[in-house]
Amino acid sequence: MRFNKNRASEPEINLIPFIDVLLVILIFLMLSTTYSKITELELSLPSANAAPLRDKINTLNISITAQGKFYIQGTSIDALDNDALVRKLKETSLGMDNPVVVISADGHATHQSVIQALQAAQQSGLQQITFATQTDSSPKGSAK
C-alpha cells in the first residue's frame, strides 16, 4: 500500500533572488548617477537705514529715469553718448571742491545706464560716488 500520494505541489515564488537583483540594480544606479546640486542665486539686498543725506553744496546729482534719460542737477541731457555726459559733468563740477556724485536711478532703469553714469563720473575725474536709496517707510517714488 502506498500511503504517499503524489499530489501536485503548489508553485512557490522565491523572493530572495528577486530582492538580490533589485539591490544590485539599486547599487548600480546609485554609483552611476551623478548628483548635481542645483543652486539658486539668493540675493539679500541691503536696506538703507542711514540718515538722509543733507543738501550739501558739493553734491552733484545724476538722475536716471526708467527710459534711460539722464538729468544732471535737474537739467536734462539730450545726448545719450558718454562724451556728452562727461562734458556736462565737468562743466557742472567746475566750481565745486571735491564734489560727491549722487546717482539716483529708477528701479526699472537698465544696468547699462547706471554703468554709463559711473564711467562718465570716473572719466570726469570725480572720485566720490554714492547711490541714492529709499527706505520702506518713505513714499513710493521719492529718493533720499
pLDDT average, residue stretch 1-20: 77
Task: Name which of 1-5, 104-108, 121-125 the model is least confident about.
Answer: 1-5
Interatomic CA distance for residues 21 and 56, integer angstroms = 79
Look up residue 16 and give its DSSP letter.
Answer: H
Q: Is the pTM of this model over 0.75?
A: no
Give the residue extent of every domain in the chain: 59-131
Query: Count of H helices and E strands in the chain?
Result: 3, 5
Contacts by residues 112-115 (CB-CB < 8 Å, ≥ 24 positions apart) = 112/68, 113/64, 113/68, 113/70, 114/64
Tens of pLDDT along 23-37?
999 999 888 887 666
Q: What are phi and psi of 103, to 5 degrees?
A: -95, 120
Look up residue 137 and give its DSSP letter.
Answer: T
Give, to the nearest 10 degrees, the angle between helix 82-92 and helix 111-123: 50
Q: What's the maximum distance between 2 C-alpha atoms anywhere in the chain?
A: 130
- All cell numbers assigned to 9: 505541489
Question: What is the per-residue pLDDT for 94?
Answer: 86
CATH of 59-131, one of 3.30.420.270, 3.40.605.10, 3.90.79.10, 3.20.20.10: 3.30.420.270
- pLDDT higher than threshold 70 for residue 140: no
Question: What is the per-residue pLDDT for 3?
Answer: 64
Tens of pLDDT along 74-83?
888 876 678 8
Tens of pLDDT along 37-75?
655 545 444 456 666 655 556 888 888 888 888 888 888
